[in-house]
Amino acid sequence: MTLLSRNRRRRIVNVVMLGMTAVFTAASVSVLFFVLGYLLLKGGRSLDLAFFTELPRPAGETGGGMANALVGSAKMLGIAAATGLPVGFLAGLYLSEFAGRRAAAVVRYAADLLNGMPSIVIGIFVYTLVVLPMKQFSTLAGGLALGIIMIPIMTRSTEEFLRAVPLPLREASLALGASRTITIIRVVVPAAARGIVTAAMLGLARVAGETAPLLFTSLSNAFWSAGVLNPTASLPVMIYNYAVSPYDDWHRQAWAAGLVLLTLVLVANVAARQLLGARRHA
């Protein structure tokens, strides 16, 4: 009798605990849909053509848009891609193809250290390195901050994807008389290209939403920003500034900007995963 009731208790615990893990999963996933739905609702209502074509209006006035912030973000992402992608890629190439055990450990440690750094600390780094000497907040500084954040992401995933290229493929190329360099350029990198492009897209999507490192590198700007040596508006910083402002119309525009940013980030993420195919997140 006691054995029976004990077994029953065990079965109940089993069902309850396993049920709870399912509930937790459902709850966590529903946060995604809630955030998405809420932004669609609030942002969708606020989004208009002016958002994409007009400059911000002065505080208190209604209307206007964030055209300058869209361009500013695009410019900084361009700089981030131009600096972060090649540096990260080549460092990853070094880790996977050239580095000895100890050198690899050092580079990997540095990349992981950078990867774990709060992005605001990177912002300060770029402030002391670029903004202070140039005595100017600028698109360039903001782009570099984003680029630095991309480097470790790119390094570690490039290494991972290059390592996954089977050894026989390399050996076949070497056996045909190709040098190591030719083997890397013509065989190894193309074999890993899909993964590396995915990593680049995910890295760009990640920095596209970064706000903290831009607060005191690119600052913001109510107008168009010429070239790369002037302060510039950006989508994430505008969302922050408008969200914490006391003006209703700015709140409305913050939602619109939030919807645009979230859409860009999630589309890039989904596209990147599609590109990589189902084989990795199995």
Partner 1 sequence: MRGGLRAAAARLRRGDGVAHAVAFAFGGAVVGLAGLLAWELWRNSALARTQFGLGFLVSQTWDPAAGQFGAAAFVYGTLMTSAIALLIAVPTGIGVAIFLAELAPRRLSSTAGMLLELLAAIPSVIYGLVGIAVLVPVMRQWVQPGLKTLTGGFPLFSGPAYGIGLLTAGVVLAVMIVPFIVSVGREVLLSVPRDQREAALALGSTRWESTWKVVLPYARPGLYGAVFLALGRALGETMAVTMVIGNRPEIAASLFAPAYSMAAVIANEFSEASEELYLHALIEVALVLFLLTMVINAVARGLIAATEGASRSR
**Which residue from 276, 273, 231, 239 is spatially nearest to 259, judged by alpha carbons?**
239
Binders of partner 1 among residues 33 to 62 (CB under 8 A) are 35, 38-39, 42
**Residue 247, interface with partner 1 (CB under 8 A)?**
no
Interatomic CA distance for residues 3 and 6, integer angstroms: 5
- Integer angstrom CA distances of residue 87 from 83, 120, 246: 6, 21, 42
Contact between 59 and 247 (Cβ < 8 Å): yes
Strand partners of residue 64: 56
**Residue 9, interface with partner 1 (CB under 8 A)?**
no
From candidates 3, 4, 102, 167, binder to partner 1 by CB under 8 A: 102
In angstroms, give the least distance from the CB of 254 to partner 1.
6
Please identify, among the stretches 63-71, 164-172, 187-195, 200-208, the one whose residues bind partner 1 according to the rule CB under 8 A: 200-208
In angstroms, give the least distance from the CB of 5 to partner 1.
15
Strand partners of residue 92: none
**Residue 172, interface with partner 1 (CB under 8 A)?**
no
**Residue 169, interface with partner 1 (CB under 8 A)?**
no
Of 25 and 62, the one with the shorter C-beta distance to partner 1 is: 25
Of 62 and 274, the one with the shorter C-beta distance to partner 1 is: 274
**Residue 17, interface with partner 1 (CB under 8 A)?**
yes
From candidates 46, 155, 173, 230, binder to partner 1 by CB under 8 A: 155
Interatomic CA distance for residues 256 and 258, integer angstroms: 5
From candidates 47, 122, 192, 256, binder to partner 1 by CB under 8 A: 122
3-class secondary-structure state, position 128? helix
Contact between 158 and 164 (Cβ < 8 Å): no
In angstroms, give the least distance from the CB of 31 to partner 1.
6
Query: What would the 3-class secondary structure string for 89-127 be?
Result: HHHHHHHHHHCCHHHHHHHHHHHHHHHHCCHHHHHHHHH
In angstroms, give the least distance from the CB of 277 to partner 1.
12
Q: C-alpha 45: how far from its chain's center?
A: 27
The residue assigned the tokens 């900007």 is 257
The residue assigned the tokens 């790369």 is 228
Using CB under 8 A as the binding criterion, the count of chain residues that bind partner 1 stands at 91
174 CB burial (10 A radius; 0-12, 13-18, 19+)? middle
Binders of partner 1 among residues 207 to 236 (CB under 8 A) are 208-212, 215-216, 219, 236
From candidates 40, 87, 191, 197, binder to partner 1 by CB under 8 A: 87
Binders of partner 1 among residues 132 to 151 (CB under 8 A) are 148, 151
**Residue 240, interface with partner 1 (CB under 8 A)?**
yes
**Residue 74, interface with partner 1 (CB under 8 A)?**
no
The residue assigned the tokens 């090649």 is 86
Please identify, among the stretches 57-65, 69-77, 84-92, 193-201, the one whose residues bind partner 1 according to the rule CB under 8 A: 84-92
